[in-house]
Structure 1
Amino acid sequence: MANQTILTFLTLPVELVYRILDHQSDMTIICSMRNVCQRFNTILDSYYRYQTLTTLYVGGKQIGSVEAQHLADALQYNTILTTLHLLNNEIGDVGVQHLAHALQHNTTLTTLILGVNEVGTLGAQHLAHALQYNTTLTTLELSINSIGDIGAKSLSDALQHNTVTLTTLDLGKNEIEDVGAQYLADALQHNTTLTTLNLEANSIGDVGAQYLADALQHNTTLAMLGLTDTSVGDVGTQYLANALQHNTALTTLELIKNEITYVGAQHLAHALQYNTTLTTLELSVNSIGDVGAKSLSDALQHNTTLTFLDLQLNRIGDIGAQHLTHALQHNTTLIILHLRYNEIGDVGAQYLSDALQSNTTVTNLSLGGNQIGSDAMEQINKFVQRNERAIKS
């Protein structure tokens, strides 16, 4: 007994410590293993998993404000983690306050995912304050929270500071209305880093769309604007279309599931004849009909930049399909055309098939959910696959 060796943490062989670490979760390694003692810090720094732990995914783990505080404490010293994914937890405004404080000191984190986390106005204010000091965060995802117009204002104020490095901001489904859109529009007129702004499932409406459209006439960096399910109608679409005639930065405009009819489609079609940067236009789940399809088809005969057009669920029908054939026969840039669930039958399919005989660029034409027979679909697919093979060769 007198000669018995007593192992303590300070004398455990490094390889044995590695084995212990092998059985710990990433969360435990990040939050609980640092600063135990100087020796353990040295061992941790040489541990392969720690050296390569650049992404921490802890979504749906019921993480609350206490666990968020542990994470925040770790972030103040961590120099490896670049992505922190906390989707669908219970962090709340208090937990966000801890994380925001850490962001003021952390210099490596580039992506923070906080969607579905009970974040309200106060949480947005804490993050906004942190953004004025943080110099590395480029992506902030806050979808499905409740920051509201006041929270949008706080973030907008932060975005107007030259030191903010944020390029992607997701505020989908956050109870933001036209007032919040106005605040964000003000930010867009001054910010020079943001390239992606998602406002999906907010009550932006035509008034909010007007604010954003005005900003787009001055902004030179935003490349993607997401306005899916935001109650934008023909009037709001007209504002956006007018902006597209002057904007030279936006490449993607999402207007899915809105209140756009053939009138809105006409406004967009007019803009497409002048715009030279938009490559993706998503209009699915609207009501543009065959008249709207004709307007867009006419524009595509002259447009040389659009590569992706989504018109699913728009009641285009066989007549609308016929109108689109003119675009397919003359346009040389469109690659992807989505026409699913559009009440198109064999007659419309034949029009499309005839047009595809001379088209050499469309490699993806989706027609599921229509009333098209197998023979007609086979003929269409033959031409699409021909184009695909030609591009690959």
Structure 2
Amino acid sequence: MNFNFNQIGALGAQHLSNVLRDSKTLHTLNLRSNQIGTSGAQYLANALRMNTDTKLTILDLDCNEIGAEGAKYLADLLSNNKTLTTINIGNNQIGDLGAEYLSDALQKNKTLTTLNLFKNQIGVSGANHLAIALENNTTLKTLELEGNQIETLGAQHFANALRKNTTLEILDIRSNGICKDGVQYLADALQVHTKLTDLRLNRQTRGMDSTTYQQT
């Protein structure tokens, strides 16, 4: 089901939640750029949590102004959900607090394989929480964090996590203000974490050339 760029708002999300609560066939829901806000995220998350027969695997909520509180509702959903494999909540201003909520959920969730947190004002603290989640999560394969502010210390947190994680294959941390030291932390971690095949580091702003590491 595709409702991208329709500005349905929170009220539209509420109406959709009535459908989601009973749906046994819907696999994909695209709601990119609809201004559903925190309330809309709450409606959708509650509906999916109540529907024990849901088949939804892909949820795209990119650019919907859900904020940290909206991320909390989605995190509560992910803690027990057994069908979702891909969630995109990029461009939602969830910040470090939202990242913390999601990291708690990732340590419980056993099905999610792709999480997109593009441009969400996530800094070092949020990176630390997500890194801790990676140390314990055994299903996530792709984590996209382009356009945040994790900086070199955040890169170090992820490097430490990669030494323990055994499943992540793609880590996108482009445009995050990481300096050369941060790149070295990650490069060293790749000597241990051989599962990671795609590490994206382009467009940093701290005196570093555009870089993408790929392992074979």
Same fold (TM over 0.5): yes
The answer for the alignment partner of 1:257 in structure 2 is 119
**Normalising to structure 1: TM-score of the pair?**
0.53
Whole-Å separation in 1 of the counterparts to 2:149 and 2:50: 35
Higher helix share: 1
Count of aligned pairs between the two proteins: 214
The answer for the alignment partner of 2:16 in structure 1 is 155
The answer on 1:180 being equivalent to 2:28 is: no
The answer for the alignment partner of 2:189 in structure 1 is 327
Q: Secondary structure at the match of 1:208?
A: helix
The answer on 1:246 being equivalent to 2:90 is: no
Whole-Å separation in 2 of the counterparts to 1:183 and 1:220: 19
Whole-Å separation in 1 of the counterparts to 2:142 and 2:50: 25
Whole-Å separation in 1 of the counterparts to 2:6 and 2:156: 39
Large movers: runs of 4+ above 6 Å: none
Judge conservation of contact 1:190–1:219 (CA < 8 Å) in 2: no
Trace 1:1-393 onto structure 2 (pairs within 5 A): 140-161=1-22, 163-191=23-51, 192-343=54-205, 367=211, 388=216
Q: Secondary structure at the match of 1:231?
A: coil
Return the structure number with greater relative CO, CA threshold 8 A, min gap 6: 2
Give 1:239's aligned amino acid.
Answer: Y
Whole-Å separation in 2 of the counterparts to 1:249 and 1:277: 6
Q: Secondary structure at the match of 1:320?
A: helix
Q: Secondary structure at the match of 2:87?
A: strand
Whole-Å separation in 2 of the counterparts to 1:195 and 1:187: 14
Q: Secondary structure at the match of 1:189?
A: helix
Q: Secondary structure at the match of 1:337?
A: strand
Q: Secondary structure at the match of 1:309?
A: strand
Whole-Å separation in 2 of the counterparts to 1:232 and 1:326: 30
Render the CA deviation track for 1:287-307: whole Å, top value 9, x for unaligned: 000000000010001100100
Give 2:44's aligned amino acid.
Answer: L
Judge conservation of contact 1:301–1:326 (CA < 8 Å) in 2: no
Q: Which runs of 5+ in 2 are unaligned?
A: none
Q: Secondary structure at the match of 2:190?
A: helix
Render the CA deviation track for 1:43-74: whole Å, top value 9, x for unaligned: xxxxxxxxxxxxxxxxxxxxxxxxxxxxxxxx
Render the CA deviation track for 1:214-235: whole Å, top value 9, x for unaligned: 1111111011110110111000
Whole-Å separation in 1 of the counterparts to 2:7 and 2:118: 22
Whole-Å separation in 1 of the counterparts to 2:47 and 2:80: 11
Q: Secondary structure at the match of 1:253?
A: strand
Return the offset for 1:190: 2.9
Whole-Å separation in 1 of the counterparts to 2:206 and 2:90: 24
Return the offset for 1:329: 1.2
The answer for the alignment partner of 1:102 in structure 2 is none
Whole-Å separation in 2 of the counterparts to 1:326 and 1:157: 49
Q: Percent identity?
A: 47
Return the offset for 1:344: 6.1
Larger radius of gyration: 1
Render the CA deviation track for 1:306-337: whole Å, top value 9, x for unaligned: 00000000011111112112211110100111
Render the CA deviation track for 1:68-124: whole Å, top value 9, x for unaligned: xxxxxxxxxxxxxxxxxxxxxxxxxxxxxxxxxxxxxxxxxxxxxxxxxxxxxxxxx
Render the CA deviation track for 1:269-292: whole Å, top value 9, x for unaligned: 000111111000000000000000
Q: Secondary structure at the match of 2:174?
A: coil
Return the offset for 1:166: 0.8
Give 2:73's aligned amino acid.
Answer: Y
Q: Secondary structure at the match of 1:281?
A: strand
Whole-Å separation in 2 of the counterparts to 1:276 and 1:344: 32
**Normalising to structure 2: TM-score of the pair?**
0.94
Return the offset for 1:188: 2.2
